[in-house]
Amino acid sequence: MTAKLVQPGQMVTRSRVVVIALIAALLTGLAVGCGWFFVARAQTAQNKEYIKNIHSIERNFITRVPIYEDFATPQMEQDLRKFLLMDHLQVAERIGVPPVESDSEIQKHLTSGKLVPARMSEDADYHFYNVPPENRYLTPRARDGLVLITERFQKNLEKRYAGHPAVRIAISSVLRTLSYQKDLQKKNANASFASSHSYGVSFDIFYDDYYVKLPEPPAHLGDEFRTRLGYLLGDSLMRQFKAVLLETLLELQVEGEIYAILERNQRCYHVTVLEKK
């Protein structure tokens, strides 16, 4: 692929780098008062080294991973509109739970093991984006499919940037009860009353949100700083990660693991996990 002299995303990237530079400037300032001088000086050196490391991570992603606009082709996007609503529903009716009418039915399926928590631990390489806790459930097979997507996503990043920190994708919809789907239909004209979400085999991946699992910072900065910077980098590198996500979903659809629909209006991929081979 021929590199462009000026890429459309450079202004976005530069604006993010400015933010990181401002953070670095604040962190390297010395504390006022001679009693804290030597402590502040030591912390300043640690801060500089940490920010230098984060900047190196950012540059490696930028130089080694293509942006979506350079990577995606019309045919790729069309391939992720090959299997639409009825195809997903046919799978859901065959392998999912019966359509969940209301929240009270969820507990019954949890007790029987037909539904499980969609995220097994805080270390999972995906997070929820505006998904209520009561809707964070999938069938065991669908959860396995979600984990497979995240594993392949990391593997495809690794091909271009060996030793990269893990990157989390965002899940914006999981289980939807029929009552919830009916309410959603009233608010969103594009929402269909029949949805594979109600069977526990589908989820939506929000392709505009990512989180970079950065190295542990100096103790005086704390985890909150690392978390905020991880989301900041996720925003900065969104178009690189979006390209790898597209690649990942295409591969798994060809392999017969999933169906995926590119939804432009909702800025997500609707994914249904297929039967285990």
| Residue 102, number of CB atoms within 10 A of its CB | 10
DSSP label at residue 213: -
The closest alpha carbon to 142, from 198, 211, 71, 82, belongs to 198
Contacts of residue 42, defined as CB under 8 A and 6 or more positions apart, other chains included, come to none
What average pLDDT does the segment 128-153 reach? 96
237-252: pLDDT as tens digits: 999 999 999 999 999 9
199-230: pLDDT as tens digits: 999 999 999 999 999 999 988 888 898 999 99
The token pair at 145 is 């499919």
41-51: pLDDT as tens digits: 557 888 889 98
Amino acid at 96: G
Tell me the C-alpha distance between 184 and 273, whole Å. 23
pLDDT of residue 190: 54
- Mean pLDDT, the chain, whole residue set: 85
Burial 119-151 (b: 16+ CB within 10 A, else e): beeeebbbbbbebeeebebbbebbbebbebbbe
Contacts of residue 184, defined as CB under 8 A and 6 or more positions apart, other chains included, come to 176, 191
Which pTM value belongs to this model? 0.84
Mean pLDDT lowest among 37-41, 93-97, 109-113, 185-189: 37-41
